[in-house]
Structure formats: structure tokens, C-alpha cells
């Protein structure tokens, strides 16, 4: 069921009616049924994968909770007769048992993710190695099912499992509630990746029908549909053409293609988030925000705090800190302090953790060397900014740069946007060498196009009206992002008198029907759904 | 508490640790400074700050950090 289809709109409408008709304590059951129907419409077989994740994570969490509660009760009952050493040994024994349970569930779920997502990639690498030795390799005739949103729901479930292990949250007793947490339809395909405490508070609370929630949710959905169906889909043919034939493009046209890709992926992904956050608002549920005007960031590190926020937070919490704070990492830092001084010792644990995080981030996005390179290049920029922080500070001081001046801040923003654009296209053009090929084309092909048709051939082929709409949408996106520095755009919108709001929304709807619906064929599905 | 304040002032002396209660949420400390901070706390107080303690509220103020250190000492 495509999110941009009329079937989806009808499905949501039916779910909303039922949601507010049933007694409030049963509202979450409607959400669960809607989620199962939504997923089963995609693939009944793949629903089994979601069920396996929900069952194993729920069961493992319950066992860990049982061990933890048992430990507390035992220690309380034997408080007086146990020595400190005995208590410590007992705690250690229970911790070990809990760890084994957590690891078993973790390995099973991450194992499923790895097999369905990386099997073909791993086999291709094995075959490449075999061919080096003159062997024939293994025929890749296997066709594995890749469940929709597996990277998203597995990470969300794993986060919950680890949180229960760390005793940061209590295990959910009701299996069906856990199933809803894993399969909640607005977020199962593209996130955001939520933590259990936050999302369960929203999912299982009782919600009343509210005009404000409906109006604000509808406005946000409309804006999301405009971003995806109009902007992302209209830009898509140009981007696809540049990526497919980059060697025939002039450097400037190829560069514009890369910039348009940045526009496309932002409109696509943030458009999806707007649709789903708006939809959830109609149910009275607030999802975690995944974007905070990322293209206004002043460094790559800041960009990653503002783009796909929930994934960054997940990696930080479950990979970055555990690695940076591990015993061996701290011992390494301690040894390096003796040898290289405090400065190196301070950044070493973070550097090791960042390399692992960015390698995993690359692989999470896709099973290809392009994504591995993409992750490592992002990590490299962040690590360099850590190591060279003092040198940058000295340069800025020597050049007497006023860091609060708008010109300097604008330079930082534009620089970061261009850097991010170059990194983004690396895995998207085709193979990794195609990604570098596009870079080469941009930097080495200096022919200046003489006409607009030569500069933007695919856009010219798609009509002037489409081009004008793309430009208006880009300006609109830029202006609304600027306005959001002070307050959310919907708060500005709420100040417009009702007739004005209705006219604006009608215009938005008309633009979607006139330009967005025909562009659906060229734009296709959501880019992030493939991850 | 004095030892903790010493560590904090060494990492970032431009903060009033008696009043500041938004060190993490307000991005006064980024993820690198947190690691430096935790490493030094572990070394100084001879404790293990496991991932379960890595919650913003435990590091948002000197007072919260001190409470966390005491809780870990008790737990160990």
C-alpha cells in the first residue's frame, strides 16, 4: 500500500474513525490491527519476520526482567546475612545470565537483518576473492525476502532490548503491546527509530478527538505530500538522468544534478516524516522529530545531529558510548596519555568509536562499497574536526575571523551544504567508481553551456511549468526553514485568518493534483524505504 | 564534590557549575567532552560508569553527576 495512494488515504480514514469510536482503553488495539493490515498488504510472508522480532525481543526482555526482579527480592530477603563480597558475586552471576539472554535475542535479530540485507553483498565479495585465485565462485541464485523497514524496526527492537538489559526501562508484560511497538505502521517503513519509554507513553495513552490535532496534523500531512509528490518527484527525472549519464554532462550541469539530489532526498525523507508525524497527530500521538533544518548546519557533525536525528541518537547511545567508554578503550586512552599527552588521550576513545559508528552507519544504509565509503568519508570529516580543532581555532584567531558575523556563518552553512552534497552522491550514482566519476566530471569538465536547454536538459524535456514549480518549491522550502528558526511554521500559519488558511491549503492541494500526481510515475517510492 | 568540580572546571572553566543544569541538553558538553568527563570521573573515583548511566539527566548538572557517582558507589 503506497503512502501516496488513495488506498492509503482511505485506510487511514477508516482507522481514524474506528480509533475514536472504540472505548479509549482499546484505541491501541485499533492501531495494532491497522499496523498488521498495513504490513500484510505489503507482504504476508514478511509479517512473519516482524512477528519473530516481536516474540523474541518480548520474551528475552521478560526473562531479563524476571531475573532482575528475582535478584532484588533475593537481596532484600538476605540483606542481613550476606557479606558485601557475596552480594557482589550474586549480582555478577545474575548480570551474566541477563547478558546471555540479551545476547541470544540480539544475535538472532541482528543475524536476520544481516542475512536478508547483506547476503548477496557478502557472496559477491567471496566470489571476487575466489575469482582472484582462478576459482569459479558460488552461483548467486538465492532470492531472499527483504522485509519492509527491517533496518528500522530491528534497531528499534534492539534498542528496547538493550534498555531493559541496562535496566533503563521495565519489560513490557503484554506481548501485543510489544507487537504494536515494533510494527506501528506510520514508522515501520522509515522510522523515526523511537525508544520504548517515549513511544509507549504515546501509543498506550488514551486520546480524545481534538480539532487542533486534526487541523495541525492535516496541515503537516499536506506539506509533506507537497514535498514528496511535487518537489522530490519533479526533481527525480533530472537527478536520475544526470546519475545515469554523468559522463555526457558538463561539470556545471552535473553539479546542479548533485545539488538537486540533495533537494530530492531531503524533500523525500522529510516529506515522509511530515506525512507520518501529521498522521500521528491526528491519532493524538507525537512522534520523535527526525529533522531540524539540517541544511542550515555549520559543520558535518552538526548536520548529523540535525538529519535523521533518531538514527544518530541510536548509534550514539548503543554503539558510540559503549565503545568509547569500554574498559579497553579507556585503558588505551590511559596508556596513550603517558606516551602522547592529555590531548591525544582525550580524543582517542571518541575516534575509535566514531570509526565503528560510521562504518555501521554506512552499512546500515546499504550493502555496497559505496555506502561503506560514504559512511567513512562522513566519519573522516568529523574525526578530522576533532583532531584539528586547535589548529582551526589558531587559524581563525590569526585571520581575525568574527565567528558571530553573519557572513562567516553563511560561509560555514554553504560550505557544509556543498560538502554534504558531494558525500551524499557517492553511493547513489551506481557503483563506487561511478560516484567518484561524477566528482571527476564536476571538477574536470569545464565547458560552459550556452543555453538553458544545455544546462538543464532533463528539466527542459519535462516542461517549463515543472521547472517553475520546482523553483517555487525550493524557495518556499528555504523561506519556511528560515522562518522556523524562531517558531514552528504551523504557529505562523495559525495566525492567518481561517479563509486565508483554507485558500492556501486549497492551493497546496491543487498543486499536488496538477503536478504531484502525474509526477508519481517518474518519482516512484520513497528513497529511504530502500534502507 | 570538590574533586568533581575540579574535573569539570578543567574541561570547561567557562561554566558556573553551581547554577548550570542544562550541560547536556543545552549542548554545553558535546559527546567528546562527555567521554573526557566520564573517563576522568572513572579514574578519579575508581568507579565504572556503564552505559546504563548514560542518560542526559545524569550529566546535566554537577549535582546530578555527584548523585550518580554516589549511586554507582552504592551499587558496586
Q: Each residue of A101-132: pLDDT tens digit?
A: 999 999 999 999 999 888 888 888 888 888 88
Q: Under a CB-based contact definition with an 8 Å cutoff, are residues A127 and A141 in contact?
A: no
pLDDT of residue A472: 92
What is the C-alpha to C-alpha distance for residues A435 and A247, in angstroms, rounded to an integer? 11
Q: Please tell me if residue A331 touches chain B, with a CB cutoff of 8 Å.
A: no
SS3 content of chain B, % helix, strand, coil (to 5): 60, 0, 40
The pLDDT score that the predictor gives to residue B76 is 65
The residue with greater pLDDT, A327 or A289, is A289
pLDDT of residue A530: 57
Residue percentage of chain A with pLDDT more than 70: 97
Would you say residue A520 has pLDDT above 90?
Answer: no
Tell me the shortest Cα–Cα distance from B1 to chain A, in angstroms: 22
Interface contact B39-A317, CB threshold 8 A: no
What mean pLDDT is reported for chain A? 89
Radius of gyration from C-alpha coordinates of chain B: 11
Question: What pLDDT is stored for residue A430 in this prediction?
Answer: 82
Write the residue in A162, A320, A346 that is nearest to B31 by C-beta.
A320
Substitution target from B7, B25, B45, B54 for chain A, most A beta carbons within 10 A: B54
Domain count, chain B: 1
Higher pLDDT, A44 or A257: A257
Helix (H, G, I), strand (E, B) or coil at A250: coil
Query: Nearest-CA distance from B3 to chain A in Å?
Result: 18
Q: Inform me whether the C-beta atom of residue A328 falls under 8 Å from chain B C-beta atoms.
A: no
Q: Which of A35-39, A481-485, A508-512, B32-36 has the lowest mean pLDDT?
A: B32-36
Q: What is the pLDDT of residue A6?
A: 83
Say which of A88, A325, A334 has its CB closest to residue B35: A325
Q: Which of A114, A92, A188, A226 is nearest to A510 (CA)?
A: A226
Please state whether B24 falls in left (phi above 0), alpha (psi between -120 and 50) or beta: alpha
Chain A residues closer than 8 Å to B54 by CB: 317, 321, 325
Is the Cβ of B12 closer than 8 Å to some Cβ of chain A? no
Q: Answer whether 0.80 is exceeded by the pTM.
A: yes
Burial of A134 (0-12, 13-18, 19+ CB in 10 A): exposed
Average pLDDT, integer, range A218-226: 93
Q: Which residue has the higher pLDDT, A398 or A337?
A: A398
**What confidence category does residue A525 fall into, taking pLDDT thresholds of 50, 70 and 90?**
low
pLDDT at residue A131, rounded to an integer:
85
| pLDDT higher than threshold 90 for residue A20 | yes
The answer to whether residue B65 neighbours chain A at the CB level (below 8 Å) is: no
> What mean pLDDT comes out for the span A300-313?
93
Residue A377 is predicted with a pLDDT of 95
Question: What residues of A are in contact with residue B51 (Cβ under 8 Å)?
Answer: 162, 166, 317-318, 321-322, 325
Query: Which pLDDT belongs to residue B55?
Result: 81
- CA dist A399 and A383 (Å) reads 24
Of A167, A321, A330, the CB nearest to B54: A321
Q: Is the ipTM of this complex over 0.90?
A: no
Cα separation, A491 vs A131, whole angstroms: 61
Q: What is the pLDDT of residues A448-469, one digit of tens each?
A: 888 777 777 776 667 778 888 8
Instruction: List b or e across A247-267, with b for residues whose CB sees 16 or more CB atoms inside 10 angstroms.
Output: eebbbbbbbbbbbbbbbbbbb
Confidence of residue A423 (pLDDT cuts 50, 70, 90): very high
Amino acid A524: pLDDT: 62
- For the stretch A164-218, pLDDT in tens is 998 888 999 999 999 999 999 999 888 899 999 999 999 999 999 898 899 999 9
pLDDT at A527: 63
Backbone angles phi, psi at A84, to 5 degrees: -60, -40
Mutate to test the interface with B, among A325, A354, A382, A387 (most CBs of B within 10 A): A325
Q: Which residues of A touch B49 (CB under 8 A)?
A: 325
pLDDT in tens, A78-92: 888 888 888 888 888
Q: Who among A162, A324, A334 is closest to B35 (CB)?
A: A324
Distance from CA of A149 to the nearest CA of B (A): 27
Q: How many CA atoms lie within 13 A of A310 on its CB side?
A: 22
Which residue range forms the structural domain that includes residue B28?
2-75
- Distance, in angstroms, between B35 CA and closest chain A CA? 7
Phi, psi of A472 (to 5 degrees): -60, -45
pLDDT at A460: 66
Q: How many helices (H) and strands (E) does chain B have?
A: 4, 0
| Residue B52 at interface with chain A, using a CB cutoff of 8 Å | yes
**pLDDT on residue A148:** 86
pLDDT (0 to 100) of residue A443: 92
State the Cα–Cα distance between residues A371 and A150, nearest whole angstrom: 18
**pLDDT in the model for residue B30:** 80
**Structure confidence at residue A528 (pLDDT):** 60
Q: Quote the CA–CA distance of B68 and B62 in Å, as a whole number.
A: 10
**For position A407, what pLDDT does the model report?**
92
At A403 the pLDDT is: 84
pLDDT of residue A526: 62
> Residue A523: its pLDDT value, please?
56
Amino acid at each position: 500500500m503506497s503512502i501516496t495512494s488513495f488506498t492509503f488515504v482511505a485506510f487511514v480514514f477508516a482507522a481514524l474513525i474506528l480509533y475514536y469510536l472504540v472505548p479509549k482503553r482499546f484505541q491501541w488495539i485499533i492501531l495494532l490491527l491497522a499496523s498488521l493490515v498495513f504490513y500484510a498488504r505489503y507482504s504476508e510472508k514478511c509479517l512473519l519476520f516482524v512477528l519473530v522480532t516481536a516474540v523474541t525481543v518480548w520474551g528475552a526482555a521478560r526473562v531479563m526482567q524476571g531475573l532482575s526482579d528475582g535478584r532484588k527480592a533475593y537481596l532484600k530477603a538476605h540483606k542481613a546475612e550476606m557479606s558485601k563480597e557475596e552480594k557482589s558475586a550474586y549480582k555478577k552471576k545474575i548480570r551474566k545470565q541477563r547478558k546471555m539472554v540479551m545476547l541470544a535475542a540480539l544475535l538472532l535479530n541482528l543475524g536476520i537483518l544481516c542475512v536478508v540485507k547483506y547476503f548477496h553483498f557478502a557472496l559477491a565479495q567471496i566470489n571476487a576473492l575466489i575469482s582472484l585465485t582462478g576459482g569459479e565462485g558460488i552461483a548467486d541464485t538465492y532470492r531472499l525476502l527483504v522485509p519492509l523497514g527491517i533496518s528500522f524496526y530491528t534497531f528499534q527492537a534492539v534498542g528496547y532490548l538493550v534498555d531493559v538489559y541496562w535496566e533503563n526501562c521495565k519489560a513490557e508484560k503484554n506481548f501485543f503491546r510489544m507487537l504494536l511497538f515494533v510494527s506501528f505502521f506510520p514508522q515501520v517503513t522509515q522510522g523515526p527509530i523511537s525508544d520504548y519509554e517515549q513511544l509507549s507513553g504515546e501509543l498506550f495513552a488514551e486520546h480524545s478527538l481534538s480539532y487542533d490535532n486534526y487541523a495541525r496534523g492535516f496541515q503537516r500531512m499536506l506539506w509533506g505530500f507537497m514535498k514528496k509528490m511535487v518537489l522530490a518527484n519533479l526533481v527525480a527525472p533530472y537527478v536520475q538522468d544526470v546519475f545515469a549519464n554523468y559522463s555526457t554532462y558538463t561539470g556545471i550541469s552535473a553539479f546542479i544534478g548533485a545539488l538537486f539530489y540533495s533537494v530530492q532526498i531531503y524533500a523525500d525523507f522529510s516529506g515522509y516524516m511530515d506525512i507520518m508525524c501529521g498522521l500521528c497527530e491526528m491519532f493524538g500521538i507525537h512522534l520523535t522529530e527526525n529533522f531540524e533544518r539540517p541544511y542550515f548546519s555549520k559543520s558535518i557533525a552538526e548536520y548529523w545531529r540535525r538529519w535523521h536525528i533518531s538514527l544518530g541518537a541510536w548509534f550514539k547511545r548503543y554503539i558510540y558510548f559503549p565503545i568509547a567508554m569500554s574498559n579497553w578503550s579507556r585503558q588505551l586512552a590511559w596508556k596513550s596519555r603517558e606516551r602522547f599527552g592529555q590531548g591525544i588521550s582525550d580524543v582517542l576513545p571518541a575516534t575509535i568509536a566514531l570509526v565503528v559508528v560510521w562504518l555501521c552507519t554506512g552499512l546500515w544504509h546499504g550493502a555496497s562499497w559505496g555506502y561503506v565509503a560514504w559512511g567513512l568519508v562522513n566519519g573522516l570529516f568529523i574525526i578530522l574536526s576533532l583532531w584539528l580543532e586547535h589548529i582551526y581555532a589558531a587559524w581563525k584567531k590569526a585571520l581575525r575571523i568574527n565567528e558571530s558575523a553573519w557572513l562567516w556563518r553563511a560561509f560555514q552553512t554553504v560550505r557544509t551544504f556543498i560538502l554534504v552534497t558531494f558525500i551524499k552522491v557517492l553511493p547513489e550514482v551506481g557503483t563506487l567508481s561511478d560516484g567518484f566519476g561524477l566528482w571527476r566530471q564536476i571538477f574536470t569538465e569545464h565547458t560552459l553551456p550556452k543555453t538553458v536547454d544545455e544546462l538543464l536538459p532533463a528539466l527542459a524535456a519535462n516542461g517549463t511549468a515543472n521547472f517553475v514549480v520546482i523553483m517555487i518549491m525550493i524557495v518556499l522550502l528555504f523561506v519556511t526553514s528560515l522562518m522556523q528558526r524562531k517558531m514552528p511554521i504551523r504557529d505562523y500559519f495559525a495566525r492567518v485568518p481561517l479563509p486565508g488558511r483554507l485558500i492556501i491549503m486549497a492551493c497546496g492541494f491543487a498543486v499536488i493534483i496538477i503536478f504531484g500526481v502525474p509526477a508519481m510515475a517518474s518519482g516512484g517510492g520513497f528513497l529511504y524505504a530502500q534502507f | 564534590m570538590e574533586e568533581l568540580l575540579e574535573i569539570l572546571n578543567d574541561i570547561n572553566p567557562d561554566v558556573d557549575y553551581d547554577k548550570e543544569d542544562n550541560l547536556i541538553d543545552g549542548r554545553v558538553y558535546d559527546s567528546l567532552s562527555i567521554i573526557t568527563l566520564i573517563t576522568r570521573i572513572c579514574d578519579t573515583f575508581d568507579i565504572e560508569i556503564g552505559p546504563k548511566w548514560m542518560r542526559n539527566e545524569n550529566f546535566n548538572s554537577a549535582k546530578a553527576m555527584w548523585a550518580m557517582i554516589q549511586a554507582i558507589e552504592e551499587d558496586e
